[in-house]
Amino acid sequence: MAGDAMNQIARTLCALLLTASTVGCSGSPAPTRAPLDGVKIGVPFQLIDQDGKPRSDRDFAGRYRILYFGYTFCPDVCPTDLQTIGAGLRTFEAQDAKRAATVVPIFVSVDPKRDTPAVLKPYVAAFHSRMVGLTGSPETIAAVAKGYGVTVELEKPNAEGAYLVAHSRFAVLMDPAGKPVVLLPADKTPNDVAAELDRWVK
């Protein structure tokens, strides 16, 4: 019934995305309860960072985390979203450096075969100086992706062996205890991302 659990996570995230698209239009006050409060996403992990060092979820305890799953060979969506996330965090840093310092942007590769630490290092640095890139074995990555409600499907390679990876597209803000807070609008503007960080980072 793992598939049912994944489907439930996906349905919840989709509903929240639809809700988020209408929030803020009525002029109603900001909610005090996090949109993802009670949603069961996120799992413990043991992965490898862009410096080749082992990293676990415990390394980020006590800090907010922006989790985004993607891959460095992505031709369009991933770099666009990561650019927005990085710029949004820099905007938040300019507004409130103290709170922003508690936020760690994390990029988890869904293409560990090609995304080695050496490939990840310059990639994540291009989006934010503090962005952490994580990779691991295909089995470990698959388990972590599943735990975060991320679906991944490798498409058929072309004649040259190149291939694309279809995957869920969202950025989730986790709180210092590792609980989900909100989906960040990485598909919008850096100011939108900064506004959500300002709203939820304490």
Q: Average of pLDDT values for 120-143?
A: 98
Residue 20's pLDDT band (boundaries 50, 70, 90)?
A: very low
| Residue 17 pLDDT > 50 | no
Is 121 a domain residue? yes
SS3 165: strand
CATH number of the domain that residue 119 is part of: 3.40.30.10
Q: Answer whether residue 181 is part of any domain.
A: yes
Q: Are 20 and 171 in contact (CB under 8 A)?
A: no
Asked whether residue 6 is domain-assigned, the answer is no
The number of C-alpha atoms within 13 Å of 104 and in the hemisphere containing its C-beta is: 19
| Domain ranges, residue 66 | 42-200
Please report, rounded to a whole number, the percentage of residues in the chain having pLDDT higher than 70.
Answer: 85
Reported as a pLDDT band with limits 50, 70 and 90, residue 30 is: low
Mean pLDDT of the chain: 89
Q: Is 20 exposed, middle or buried (0-12, 13-18, 19+ CB in 10 A)?
A: middle
pLDDT for 13: 55
Is residue 56 in some structural domain? yes
- Predicted local confidence at residue 88, as pLDDT: 98
**138-156 pLDDT, tens digit each:** 999 999 999 999 999 999 9
Are 149 and 168 spatial neighbours (Cβ–Cβ below 8 Å)? yes
Q: How many domains does the chain have?
A: 1
- Separation of first and last alpha carbons in the chain: 37
Asked whether residue 8 is domain-assigned, the answer is no
Q: What is the DSSP letter of 175?
A: -
Contacts of 194 by beta carbon, 8 Å cutoff, 6+ apart = 88, 89, 91, 92, 95
Average pLDDT over residues 23-39: 67
The whole model's pTM is what?
0.86
Residue ranges of alpha helices (H) inside 101-137 are 117-125
Does residue 182 belong to any structural domain of this protein?
yes
Q: Which residues of 55-68 are buried (b: 16+ CB within 10 A; e: fewer)?
A: bebeebeeebbbbb
Q: Are 199 and 97 in contact (CB under 8 A)?
A: no
- Confidence at 31, pLDDT banded by 50, 70, 90: low
**Which three-class secondary structure state does DSSP give residue 169?**
coil
Could you tell me if residue 29 is inside a domain? no
Task: Please check whether residue 95 lies inside any domain of the structure.
Answer: yes
Q: If you average pLDDT over residues 88-97, what whole number do you get?
A: 98
